[in-house]
Amino acid sequence: MVPYPWPELLIFDLDGTLIDSKEDIAAALNQTLAERGLPALAHEEIYAHVGNGVYDLIEGAVAAAGGDDVEAALAHFMATYDARLLERTHLYEGAAEVVAHFAGVAMALITNKSMRFTRPIVDGLGVAGWFDPILARDTLPTCKPHPGPLLHCIDAHGVDPTRTWMVGDGATDILAGHAAGVRTVGCLYGFRTEQEVVGAQPDCLIRDLRDLPGLFADRPDGG
């Protein structure tokens, strides 16, 4: 593969792309189900509902567990997850090194997680300063797969969309990237299935976050 030109803007998804948060999400969700008299779900079934926001997560999980009161379960989960945000959640191996490799490149974070959870996580992991802006599901009127958040970042930095990349582990990330006219990287190590990621037709696929720098030619300044 011929390396792509050095990027002007890298936009990252959060869960399943930069951080492995699946154990805390699954633990909080199964605690919620148990406390509401519903059976626990297999973790893989829970992960299949992650990526489109907390309401979709709870709606899918409650239905799978045989329940029907989504609103009450949502409120219960929000309080439960608040207390468990950083029990086991951690950055993927090599995240800091990858960010350092792209020093000088603008970086943004766009997640379909609510800001209620996003801010404490990025602050707690010490990575908030990596990104400008940090956009959550409830920051703007639209969220992924709508291109609005990506276009907001492109406008904020005044960059070329063709030198902008959306990096994420789900179809919502790739579809948002396509709609915004940017290039896309599908992460096969995240929460979603390989079939979903490949089916969304990203420009590139990586099996490890540390593979990201290898997609690009050397920085123009030779640094």
Among 113, 112, 53, 123, residue whose Cα is nearest residue 86 = 123
Residues 6+ apart with CB under 8 A from 170: 13, 16, 51, 190, 191, 192, 196, 197, 200
Give the phi and the psi of residue 7 in degrees, each rounded to 5: -75, 155
Q: Tell the burial category of 127 from Cβ atoms under 10 Å away from its Cβ (0-12, 13-18, 19+).
A: buried
Q: Who contacts 215 (Cβ-Cβ below 8 Å, separation ≥6)?
A: 1, 3, 4, 185, 204, 206
Residues 22, 119: contact at Cβ < 8 Å?
A: no
Handedness of CA 186, 190, 194, 195 (dihedral sign): negative
Active-site residue, 218 included: no
Q: Exactly one of 13, 15, 20, 24 is catalytic; which is it?
A: 13
Distance CA 35, CA 22 (A): 20
Return the active site residues.
Answer: 13
